[in-house]
């Protein structure tokens, strides 16, 4: 398939829910200067879907590595099960293709670190689909936090419990919610975006103490209810709460700073701005019961929220124009480091310091993989190379 000037020919590896949506979006022309030229999936049913739903000229492969080697693409989009993300990214970069991966970056940081090393040595673009970074409320919050106007961070609390899932969601495929098939539960499936935003906004904590409850609300192997406590290098603390068992659930991010408090909820930023720095007020105010004056502001944003399309537009822009990505692929290790620390803390029943002990985490993960009842009933082949 010949390449036209000033375009990126992309192939998608993995045509599950997300991969299929991305394929349709690109085929429909929603990403300027990007053309879908190939897809790959091990399941014949998904290739039949591609034949019926995608343009006839889109090549179809049963093996992602064959797609990479085919010469039909300049870049690949990896939308396979989690364990395979680093494997296909590495193969693509080593074969001269640009790569973008769905979240999470992988299941364990040791494998992702190896992927990042390959990316550093390549001269190709590597991105990750952290589409929540395109949301105007998080972009504005990032801008405010990094401008210094809020003062130092003191506390962060994120309740993200609006991921409700029924048992039928997990029963739909034998690999779902298993240690060997998916690699984790709500932390690895639903929450990578929030964990990325947390570290993007606040930086990684230095200590984590987590309680990951497995099969609390569903008949599954992995965690579906998590509460984690975090400590940051400047003394700030945080709590992260998530589950797939609450209805109706909540998505509320609250951050306290020296200059006030910001609540992010319902696509709004509400800033309770203090007239003076709380630390100065605490030291100098003579009335022991006084509180600093404040004003409540609804922070204005630009209203933009391009989500997946925005990430793909930026990917094309980096390849063709050298402009910034929404998220560099190498940054994916940070959110995964945080979830790995939460798992290890719960498994060992102790506080974990970051960076996480990668060998110890992998040992503990593999104990659970060996006991796993994952079934590849979707036709997906799980990568277990070097992990047992």
The pLDDT assigned to 375 comes to 78
- Tell me the C-alpha distance between 184 and 378, whole Å: 18
Which token pair is 20? 């299929």
DSSP string of 92-103?
Answer: HHHTT-EEEEPS
Q: Give residue 2's pLDDT.
A: 57
Asked whether 12 and 23 are in contact (CB, 8 A), the reply is yes
Q: pLDDT at position 376, please?
A: 61
Q: Specify burial of residue 320 (Cβ count, 10 A radius: 0-12, 13-18, 19+).
A: middle
Among residues 382, 334, 368, 384, the alpha carbon closest in space to that of 204 is found at 334
Mark the ranges of the chain whose per-residue pLDDT is less than 70.
Answer: 1-4, 376-388
CATH dotted code for 8-132+307-328:
3.40.50.720
- Beta carbons of 114 and 50 less than 8 angstroms apart: no
Strand partners, 261: 256, 272
Say if residues 61 and 42 touch (Cβ distance below 8 Å).
Answer: no
At 173 the pLDDT is 83
The CATH number assigned to the domain with range 133-303+335-370 reads: 3.30.360.10
Angle (CA) 298-158-368 rounded to 5° is 155
Q: Per-residue DSSP letters for 214-241?
A: ETSSSSSSSEEEEEEEEE-TTS-EEEEE
The ranges of the chain annotated as CATH 3.30.360.10 are 133-303+335-370
Give the pLDDT of residue 256.
Answer: 98
Chain region(s) in the chain for CATH 3.40.50.720: 8-132+307-328
C-alpha span between 64 and 74 (Å, rounded): 14
- pLDDT (0 to 100) of residue 4: 65
């Amino acid at each position: 398939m010949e390449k036209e000037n000033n375009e990126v020919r992309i192939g998608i590896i993995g045509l599950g829910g997300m991969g299929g949506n991305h394929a349709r979006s690109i085929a429909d022309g929603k990403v300027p200067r990007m053309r879908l030229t190939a897809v790959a999936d091990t399941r014949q049913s998904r290739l039949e879907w591609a034949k019926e739903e995608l343009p006839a000229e889109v090549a179809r492969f049963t093996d992602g590595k064959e797609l990479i080697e085919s010469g039909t693409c300049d870049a690949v989009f990896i939308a396979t099960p989690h364990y395979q993300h680093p494997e296909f990214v590495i193969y693509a970069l080593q074969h001269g293709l640009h790569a973008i991966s769905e979240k999470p970056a992988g299941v364990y940081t040791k494998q992702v670190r190896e992927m990042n090393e390959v990316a550093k040595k390549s001269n190709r673009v590597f991105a990750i689909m952290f589409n929540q970074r395109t949301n105007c409320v998080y972009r504005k919050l990032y801008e405010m936090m990094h401008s210094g106007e809020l003062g130092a961070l003191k506390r962060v609390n994120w309740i993200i419990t609006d991921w409700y899932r029924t048992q039928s969601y997990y029963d739909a495929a034998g690999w779902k919610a298993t240690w060997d098939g998916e690699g984790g539960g709500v932390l690895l499936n639903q929450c990578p975006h929030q964990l990325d935003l947390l570290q993007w906004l606040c930086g990684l904590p230095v200590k984590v103490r987590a309680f990951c409850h497995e099969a609390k609300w569903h008949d599954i192997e992995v965690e579906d209810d998590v509460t984690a406590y975090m400590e940051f290098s400047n003394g700030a603390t945080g709590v992260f709460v998530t589950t797939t068992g609450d209805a109706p659930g909540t998505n509320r991010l609250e951050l306290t700073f020296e200059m006030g408090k910001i609540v992010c909820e319902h696509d709004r930023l509400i800033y309770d701005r203090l007239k003076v720095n709380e630390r100065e007020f605490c030291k100098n105010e003579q009335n022991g019961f006084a509180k600093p004056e404040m004003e409540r502001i609804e922070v204005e944003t630009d209203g933009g929220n391009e989500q997946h399309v925005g990430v793909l537009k930026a990917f094309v822009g980096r390849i063709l124009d050298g402009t910034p990505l929404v998220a560099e692929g190498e940054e994916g290790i940070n959110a995964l480091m945080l979830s790995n620390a939460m798992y290890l803390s719960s498994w060992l029943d102790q506080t974990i310091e970051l960076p996480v002990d990668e060998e110890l985490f992998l040992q503990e993960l593999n104990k659970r993989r060996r006991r796993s009842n994952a079934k590849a009933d979707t036709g997906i082949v799980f990568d277990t190379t070097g992990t047992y």
